[in-house]
């Protein structure tokens, strides 16, 4: 199925539009999982996509979402966008189409959701200011740390460091340097300040 998706990317590219496989499929590829759930993002608007492909169903024009059936396979395709206004601080109720993939990726929460595959099958570099997410899948208990520390405090792009039994010494060094906000993962029985203890 990926080969058909990449053919679809090339058609968009040949018509002057950027296009990438993005999201869960890229995550599954990196984790060695089989998946047929392929989402595509592109600089082409729904109207421009309708001019290129014959079998297109507009699923949500407001959010730039269409479904393209190509050689028997269905692909969800969404236009690059910037989210301008939100409802309940979560669901976007106003968006603007944009042409820059990097600006589209900045609105996504985890690094794992910003990884893209191009028409050659290459995984693209991730822009800064996105948040790490691979650790959430590799180390289950780190999910709470990412959600309630890194995202909550809007930390910039970061790297994970394994420091064995040196944690105590590093903690003391950070305190000595005057770093007031030192965050670390909490055990299961100790919730983070923003975590719902009843969830």
Judged against a pLDDT cut of 80, whether residue 26 lies above it is answered with yes
> Is the model's pLDDT at 193 over the cut of 70?
yes
73-124 pLDDT tens trace? 999 999 998 877 655 545 556 778 889 888 887 777 666 667 788 999 888 7
Q: What is the pLDDT of residue 156?
A: 56
Q: What is the average pLDDT across 178-190?
A: 80
Give the whole-angstrom CA distance, residue 149 versus residue 136: 13
Paired tokens of 98: 């944009």
pLDDT at site 125: 61
């Amino acid at each position: 199925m990926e080969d058909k998706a990449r053919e679809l990317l090339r058609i968009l590219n040949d018509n002057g539009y950027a296009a990438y496989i993005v999201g869960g499929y890229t995550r599954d590829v990196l984790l060695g999982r089989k998946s047929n759930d392929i989402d595509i993002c592109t600089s082409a608007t729904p109207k421009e996509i309708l001019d290129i492909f014959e079998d297109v169903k507009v699923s949500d024009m407001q959010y730039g979402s269409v479904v393209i059936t190509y050689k028997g396979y269905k692909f969800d395709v969404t236009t690059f966008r910037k989210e301008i206004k939100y409802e309940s601080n979560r669901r976007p109720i106003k968006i603007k189409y944009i042409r820059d993939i990097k600006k589209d990726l900045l609105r996504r929460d985890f690094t794992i959701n910003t990884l893209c595959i191009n028409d050659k099958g290459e995984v693209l570099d991730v822009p800064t200011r996105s948040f790490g997410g691979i650790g959430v899948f590799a180390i289950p208990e780190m999910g709470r740390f990412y959600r309630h520390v890194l995202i909550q405090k809007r930390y910039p792009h970061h790297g994970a460091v394994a420091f064995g039994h040196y944690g105590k010494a590093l903690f003391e060094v950070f305190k000595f340097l005057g770093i007031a906000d030192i965050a670390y993962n909490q055990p299961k029985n100790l919730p983070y300040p923003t975590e719902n203890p009843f969830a």
